[in-house]
Structure 1
C-alpha cells in the first residue's frame, strides 16, 4: 500500500467545480421556463450530463484513477445508453 500515489487537489478547483455545478443547476431549471418544443428535455439532459461529468471527474476522483476504472465506468454508461435506446425504440414502435 505504500507504493500508491496520492494526489492533492487545491481547494480552488473544488470551489470552481462547485460554482459551475450551481450555475448549471440554475440553468437547467431556467431552461424549463422557455418553450423550446421537443428540445427542452434535450437541453436539460445536456446540462445533467455535464454536471455528472464534473462530479465523476473531480468529486469522485475519476480523473486521477487508474485507466481500467475509467474503462469500467465508461462500460456502465454504455450499458445505460443501450438500455435507454432500447426502451425508447420499444416505446416508439408499439
Structure 2
C-alpha cells in the first residue's frame, strides 16, 4: 500500500489569524455604516464619487483577504488589475459620450403636458 501521508495536504493554503479576519470584518462593517451615513448628506456630485471610493475600498479588502489575492502569484494579480483597468476605461469612454445622444433619447419638455379638453 502506498503512504497517504505525503498526499494528505487538505488544509488551507494560507491560513490567517482570526484577529486579522475579524479586523477586516469590522472594517467592512464600519465602511458600510459610513456609506449609509453619507447618504443622509447632500453632497451634490461628490456623493457618487465618495460612494464609489468607499465601495472600492470594501471590494479591495474582500479581494485581498477573503479571496486570498494577496497571496497569489504576481501574474494573477496583474491579470485582475488589468481587467479592472480596461473595464474602467470602457465605462469611462461610454460615459464621456452620453451627452451626445441625450437630446434624441430624452425630449426636453419646458412645460407640463396639458390634456386637450373638448366640450360637445
* TM-score normalised by L of structure 1: 0.89
Aligned residue-pair number? 90
Distance, in Å, in 1 between the alignment partners of 2:100 and 2:47 is 23
* TM-score normalised by L of structure 2: 0.71
Gaps of 5+ in 1: none
After superposition, where does 1:75-90 map in structure 2 within 5 Å?
75-90=82-97
Who wins on radius of gyration, i.e. which is larger?
Answer: 2
**Displacement over 6 Å in runs of 4+:** none
| Structure 2 counterpart of 1:22 | 29
2:71 to 64, 69, 84: 64
Cα shift readout 1:8-48 (whole Å, capped 9, x = no counterpart): 21011110000000110110111111011110111111100
| Structure 2 counterpart of 1:41 | 48
Q: Which structure features the higher share of helix residues?
A: 1
